[in-house]
C-alpha cells in the first residue's frame, strides 16, 4: 500500500466483501501513523509498540489509547453473555500492546478465559 488512504480503502473493500449480516468482528493491527485510519475503522484496533507520532496524532483527534488486555476484559464484561459481534468500531478507542509476543499471550489468555479454549503454547 502506498498511502494511508490506500490502506483504508483496501480494508473497507475487504470488509464489504464479507457481507452485511453483522456477524463479523474486524480487527486491524498496526504500528504507525499510516495505520491510524484503518485502526479506527476496525471494530478492534490494536497498536503494536509505542509510536509517539501515532499517539500524538491520535490524541489530537480525541482517540483514546487503552492497554489491550484490561481493555478487552472490560469490554467483554459489558456484553455479559450478549453477542460480541454487536461490538462495533468507530468508538475512538485503540488498544495497545508492547509486542507481537505480548499480543499472542494476551489473546491466548483471553481466549482461554472467556471462550474456554484449550490451548498449547509454543514459545
* Average pLDDT over the chain, rounded to an integer: 81
Confidence of residue 121 (pLDDT cuts 50, 70, 90): low
Average pLDDT over every residue of 62-78:
79
C-alpha distances (whole Å) from 7 to each of 30, 59, 88 are 11, 21, 20
What is the residue whose three cell numbers read 464479507? Answer: 18
Is the pTM above the cut of 0.95? no
Give the domain range for residue 91: 4-115
37 domain-assigned: yes
Quick check: is 32 in a domain?
A: yes
Return the pLDDT at 34: 95
Check residue 26 and give its pLDDT. Answer: 84
User: Angle 100-115/68-79 helices, nearest 10 degrees?
Assistant: 20
pLDDT in tens, 34-43: 999 999 999 8
Scanning the chain, the segments in alpha helix (DSSP H) are 4-17, 36-41, 52-60, 68-79, 100-115
52 within some domain: yes
- Note whether residue 121 is domain-resident: no
15: its cell numbers: 470488509
Amino acid at each position: 500500500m502506498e498511502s494511508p488512504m490506500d490502506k483504508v480503502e483496501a480494508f473497507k473493500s475487504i470488509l464489504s466483501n464479507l457481507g452485511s449480516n453483522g456477524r463479523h468482528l474486524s480487527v486491524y493491527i498496526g504500528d504507525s501513523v499510516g495505520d491510524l485510519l484503518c485502526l479506527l475503522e476496525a471494530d478492534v484496533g490494536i497498536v503494536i509498540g509505542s509510536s509517539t507520532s501515532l499517539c500524538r496524532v491520535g490524541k489530537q483527534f480525541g482517540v483514546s489509547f487503552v492497554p489491550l488486555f484490561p481493555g478487552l476484559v472490560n469490554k467483554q464484561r459489558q456484553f455479559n453473555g450478549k453477542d460480541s459481534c454487536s461490538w462495533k468500531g468507530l468508538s475512538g478507542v485503540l488498544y495497545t500492546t508492547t509486542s507481537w509476543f505480548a499480543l499472542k499471550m494476551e489473546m491466548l489468555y483471553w481466549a482461554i478465559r472467556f471462550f474456554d479454549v484449550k490451548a498449547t503454547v509454543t514459545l
